[in-house]
Structure 1
Amino acid sequence: MASFTPPAADAMRAKLLLAARDEFAAVGLTGARIERIAAASSSNKAQIFHYFGSKEGLFDALITQTVTETLTEVPIDTDDLPAYAGRLFDSYARRPWVPRLATWYRLERAADAPLEAIVSSNAEAVAAVEHAQRAGVLPRSYRPAVLLGLVVHLAGFWDATTPEFDTLVTAVVPARRRQIVVDAVGSLLRG
């Protein structure tokens, strides 16, 4: 069977996004350099501007792609939020650039217009949590958006600590860290 060959434009766009992922995860939007992204993708600045319009457009496209990939890999499961948090933790461990990109996005783009992919995915997830709360599957001790935020942030807790805190918990191995996330979400729900 013949393998699918993406059109040249799709392949170039993918190469640019991959190079941008590494650059933006390392130094953020402000620190990123179009020249480095172009060189890493074996392309040029003109291609970046052609496909994305600007460095900000490239960053936003990357964030949108990352959110979409994460939601596809780890769809919300309101029947078992602790397991969902564990799978989200696993996704972050396999894709360490995701929490870094999310941090840079929060720091450097918070004042800009929100990205539709994030707005719509948040709305869908909050609606799912609210539906589960009304059905009695999830407790109503927190508003749906707050409960979802707590679960998502607990899943990413270990990626958001400072180096000074990390030295206090070096003995906590990855498998135990995952279990702590799952247990914390379980406790939150039993609250």
Structure 2
Amino acid sequence: MSYDADATRRRIFEAAADEFAERGLAGARIERIATAARANKQAIYLYFGNKQQLFGAVLKAKMEEVCHEGPLDPHAMGESVGQLFDWYHEHPELVRLLMWEALELSPDEPLAADERRRTYRAYASEMTEGGYAAGEPDEDARIRAAQDWLFTVLGLVAWNFCVPQMRALVLDEPDAKAALARRREVVVQTVKALAAAR
């Protein structure tokens, strides 16, 4: 039986995503990742580099997954935000990875900063091309308005998954599914109202 390098990379990546989401960068162990991936440590270092580089690769890939869902459509903000909310609900590991990054790494040096910044700028550009902030005086002002809007919307969505214990306490809803459905509806309606006000 021949060695399948792509399969090994996928197993390492999946094991690393689970390990980092659960334990963060500092608490993660290459040995556990190797065991879960049925790979040796040398393969991890060969394919991904050191532990921080592996964490960066996992975070980048998870960010790309959500980015592939498409930009926030300025003409269908409610639907776009609802889809984003659902994606975060189905992929809780992304919020955990972002929280670990914020807790353990310098905010002045986020991982893959240039690539991630380009992705968000492209999102803002797509929004302005779709008509968002059309009333602003120039392209720079439209991009800035779109960037502010994007960050606001991401915060409205992600906060629901960053602090599930607080969500449960504040909403005082014994049924977790019902609580999340309430939050989704409120976030969608809030974004629609804010978009209409602009």
* TM-score category of the 2 structures, normalised to the smaller one: 0.7 to 0.9
AA of the residue aligned to 2:158: G
Residue of structure 2 equivalent to 1:175: 181
Quote how far apart the aligned CAs of 1:52 are: 0.8
Q: Which runs of 5+ in 2 are unaligned?
A: 136-141
In structure 2, the residue matched to 1:14 is 10
1:62 maps to 2:64: no
Q: Is the 8 A contact 1:81 1:151 kept in 2?
A: no
Deviation, 1:135, is 3.9
Cα distance in 2 between the residues matched to 1:146 and 1:184: 16
**Which residue pairs with 2:190 in the alignment?**
184
Q: TM-score, normalised by structure 2?
A: 0.82
The CA distance in 2 between the partners of 1:101 and 1:78, in whole Å, is: 28
Shift of 1:148: 0.8
Q: Aligned partners of 2:100, 2:148: CA distance in 1, in Å? A: 22
| 8 Å contact from structure 1 (residues 28, 101) kept in 2 | yes
- Counterpart in the other structure of 1:3: none
Q: Provide the C-alpha distance between the structure 2 equivalents of 1:158 and 1:178, rounded to a whole number of angstroms.
A: 9
Partners of 1:112 and 1:101 lie apart in 2 by 15
Give the CA deviation at 1:162. Answer: 6.1
The superposition leaves residues 15-70 of structure 1 with CA deviations (integer Å, 9 ceiling, x where unpaired) of 11100111111111111111111111111211111111100111111011111111
Range with bigger deviation, 24-33 or 168-177 = 168-177
**Comparing 33-42 with 77-86, which one deviates more in the overlay?**
77-86
Counterpart position of 1:111: 108
Identity rate of aligned residues, in percent?
Answer: 33
Equivalent residue runs for 1:145-164 within 5 Å? 145-161=147-163, 163-164=165-166
Residue pair 2:20, 2:97 contacting (<8 A) in 1 also: yes
Letter in 2 for 1:126: A
Which stretches in structure 1 are left out of the alignment for 5+ residues?
1-6
Contact kept, 8 Å, 2:157 with 2:187, in 1: the verdict is: yes
Q: 1:111 to 1:38 in 2, by over 3 A?
A: farther
Deviation per residue, 1:138-179 (Å, 9 max, x gap): xx7x82211110011111121123624532214252222211
- Could you tell me which amino acid in structure 1 is paired with residue 99 of structure 2? T
TM-align CA RMSD: 2.1
Deviation digits for residues 100-146 of structure 1, max 9, x if unmatched? 1121123333332551431221110111233323546xxx7x82211
Secondary structure of residue in 2 paired with 1:37: helix
Normalising by structure 1, what TM-score? 0.85
Structure 1 position 75, deviation (Å) = 3.7
Question: Contact 1:85 / 1:154 at 8 angstroms: preserved in 2?
Answer: no
Q: After TM superposition, what 4+ stretches of structure 1 lie above 6 angstroms from structure 2?
A: none
Question: 1:95 is matched with which residue: 91, 95, 112?
Answer: 91
Size of the aligned set, in residue pairs, is 181
1:43 to 2:39 alignment:
yes
